[in-house]
């Protein structure tokens, strides 16, 4: 009898392996959500109380965790501080790039700077805006490696402003040296996190309060001359 005459048993069908990355389990998705809650809660407390005065127990309580649970995600409070700044800058960079991508091709430099300023005010003063004040006041608490990572993102973020400032300087709308102007603009805009109060209704107390759009227009007038 030859092998050709031998009847082989039917082969069990092997299920196809799905393409792409395997789906995350419910536990993995929950871990990611809890980590984001920790970063957001830590940013809020670091801003309100300061890094030194905030304990991991405080952070855990703020997000409804047990006191030791943050160490499942971060090895120390210092690592959590680094994540606040690093992930905050990553999110700010993504939002800035999306804002620029929404501009029509060939948008003039003044309009591009307006979009950059408006987005920066939203990063500074909008929802989930605690990380920049934390950066301003807790920078010294980072270690050297953390500072290097955050600085790389900050340089990319501010680098998007340079071509617009240089173009406006060439057009005569920006009187200062672009490199110096960039430092002064960020210094002025970032400080608004200390004094800005959003408008609430139209009461007499709200007269001095302005929207982020109005704040953007005021900043443009402060730093730029009107186009000829």
Which of 167, 184, 47, 179 lies closest to 112 in space, CA to CA? 167
Domain 77-223 carries which CATH code?
Answer: 1.10.357.10
pLDDT value at 82 more than 70? yes
The predicted pLDDT at position 15 comes to 46
In the chain, % of residues over pLDDT 70: 82
The predicted pLDDT at position 127 comes to 79
Question: What is the mean predicted confidence (pLDDT) over 217-223?
Answer: 95
CB 173 within 8 A of CB 111: no
List, for residues 90-112, the tens digit of each pLDDT value: 999 999 999 999 999 999 999 99
CA 62 to each of CA 21, 48, 133, 134, 195: distance values in angstroms, whole numbers, following the listed order: 33, 13, 19, 17, 25
The predicted pLDDT at position 105 comes to 92
Question: What is the mean predicted confidence (pLDDT) over 106-132?
Answer: 93
List, for residues 186-218, the tens digit of each pLDDT value: 999 999 988 888 876 454 444 457 899 999 999
pLDDT value at 21 more than 60? no
**Confidence bin at 68 (pLDDT 50/70/90):** confident
pLDDT value at 8 more than 90? no
CA 206 to each of CA 197, 199, 201: distance values in angstroms, whole numbers, following the listed order: 9, 6, 7
Total count of residues recorded for the chain: 228
Instruction: Delimit the domains of the chain by residue range.
Output: 77-223
**Confidence bin at 227 (pLDDT 50/70/90):** confident
List, for residues 155-174, the tens digit of each pLDDT value: 999 999 999 999 999 999 99
pTM, to two decimals:
0.79
């Amino acid at each position: 009898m030859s092998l050709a005459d031998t009847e082989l048993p039917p082969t069990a069908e092997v299920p196809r392996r799905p393409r792409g990355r395997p789906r995350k389990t419910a536990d993995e998705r929950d871990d990611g959500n809890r980590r984001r809650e920790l970063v957001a809660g830590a940013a809020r407390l670091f801003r309100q109380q300061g890094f030194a005065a905030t304990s991991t127990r405080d952070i855990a309580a703020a997000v409804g965790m047990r006191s030791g649970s943050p160490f499942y995600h971060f090895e120390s409070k210092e690592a959590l501080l680094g994540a606040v700044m690093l992930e905050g800058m990553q999110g700010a960079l993504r939002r800035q790039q999306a804002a620029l991508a929404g501009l029509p091709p060939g948008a003039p430099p003044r309009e591009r700077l307006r979009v950059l300023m408006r987005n920066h005010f939203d990063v500074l003063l909008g929802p989930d805006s605690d990380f920049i004040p934390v950066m301003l006041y807790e920078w010294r608490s980072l270690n050297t490696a953390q500072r290097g990572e955050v600085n790389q993102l900050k340089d990319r973020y501010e680098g998007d402003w340079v071509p617009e400032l240089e173009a406006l300087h060439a057009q005569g709308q920006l009187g200062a040296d672009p490199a110096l102007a960039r430092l002064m603009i960020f210094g002025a805009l970032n400080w608004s996190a200390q004094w800005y109060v959003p408008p609430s209704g139209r009461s007499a107390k709200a007269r001095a309060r302005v929207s982020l759009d109005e704040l953007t227009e005021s900043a443009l007038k402060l730093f730029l001359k009107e186009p000829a």
